[in-house]
Amino acid sequence: MSTIVLLLVTGLGLGALYFLVASGLSLIWGLMRVLNFAQGAFFTVAGYAGFFAAEALPGTSPWLRWCAGVLAGMLTGGAFAILTEVLLIRPLYRRPVGQVLVTVGLALATLALVEGAFGSDPRQVTLPDWMSATTTIFGAAIPNTRFVVILAALLVLLGLLFFLQRTRYGLIVRAGVENRAMVSALGIDVQRAFTLVFAIGGTAAGLAGVLGAAYYGTIDPSRGTSMLISAFIVVVIGGLGSIGGSALAAVLVGLLQQFLNFYAAAGVGDFAVVLLLAVVLLVRPGGLIGRAPE
């Protein structure tokens, strides 16, 4: 029982991280039809920004340092995303291949820069005592970071749903996902919505970067790339453009990986996720919650 509880909560925590990266990918694709391969770079850079922000406040409360790291990570992720959209993506609208190439190039360049600047070895992050401790539930000693990550993802999910359902910009994004040209034809500057969506995606990825460091206990330059791959799988399984679909798929993928990697063999969970992706693409090409591609 304790193993199942541990795997369940750890799987949910992993799914929460996937969701944080995937939600931005999904929003960006849904509105802009841009496959943003730089989302992993936002995750990585924000993780390091959070790490150094916390390190820059020695002698202060551990919670204050960690919160400063979270804030720095989110701001860095958001700012990086805005710069990417304005400087690299905007000149390439109507050129999807160019957009893919430029985001792939940015991801590779960022990885190389971070490795060059900080080395490729993982760095240990310092956490408040409570986050480094465990809580026992049904006999399972669960690292408290799992609860923090899950709670943060839930808050982001609720925040995104509120934004999409209750705000004018959310309405514009939902309409833009359906028919971008018609939104413009109603006199709405879709470009602003593009930048906003990129900023939201980058901020969520930035939060994931700092929370990922807490989840794994370390930061390293390459985790953003593996996170991006998982997030892409989540987005496709959930349905491109669907936040609810991303949340559902992230939970499925996280749990599948944890349970099969433990009960079958290491790596079986990852294989099963790819298999699930193939099945979803064959049976429901639009994803679990999403429209079939035109």
Partner 1 sequence: MNAGEALLEVQNLRVAIGESQILGGVSFRVREGGITGLLGRNGVGKTTTLRGILGLVPRTGSVTLAGEELTTLAVHDVVRRGVGYVPEDRDVFGGLTVEENLRLAERAGSEHRYDLVYELFPELRERGAQRAGTLSGGQQQMVALARALLNASNRILLIDEPTKGLSPLVVKRVADALERAASVTTILLVEQNLAVARHLVRDVVVLDQGAVVFTGDVAALIDDPALARRYLGLSAVASGH
Q: Which is nearer to partner 1, 123 or 284 (CB)?
A: 284
Cross-strand bridge partners of residue 124: 218
Per the CB < 8 A criterion, the answer to whether 244 and 201 are in contact is: no
Q: Which is nearer to partner 1, 137 or 175 (CB)?
A: 175
Q: Which is nearer to partner 1, 30 or 212 (CB)?
A: 30
CB of 291 to partner 1, least distance (A): 9
CB of 187 to partner 1, least distance (A): 4
Q: Which is nearer to partner 1, 27 or 188 (CB)?
A: 188
CB of 191 to partner 1, least distance (A): 8
CB of 282 to partner 1, least distance (A): 25
CB of 120 to partner 1, least distance (A): 45
Cα–Cα distance between 200 and 36 in angstroms, integer? 13
Q: Which is nearer to partner 1, 59 or 187 (CB)?
A: 187
CB of 182 to partner 1, least distance (A): 4
Among 238, 231, 242, 247, smallest CA distance to 288 is for 238
Q: Which is nearer to partner 1, 9 or 183 (CB)?
A: 183
Q: Label residue 58 exposed, middle or buried (CB < 10 Å: 0-12, 13-18, 19+).
A: exposed
The residue ranges that bind partner 1 (CB under 8 A) are 168, 171-172, 174-175, 177-179, 181-191
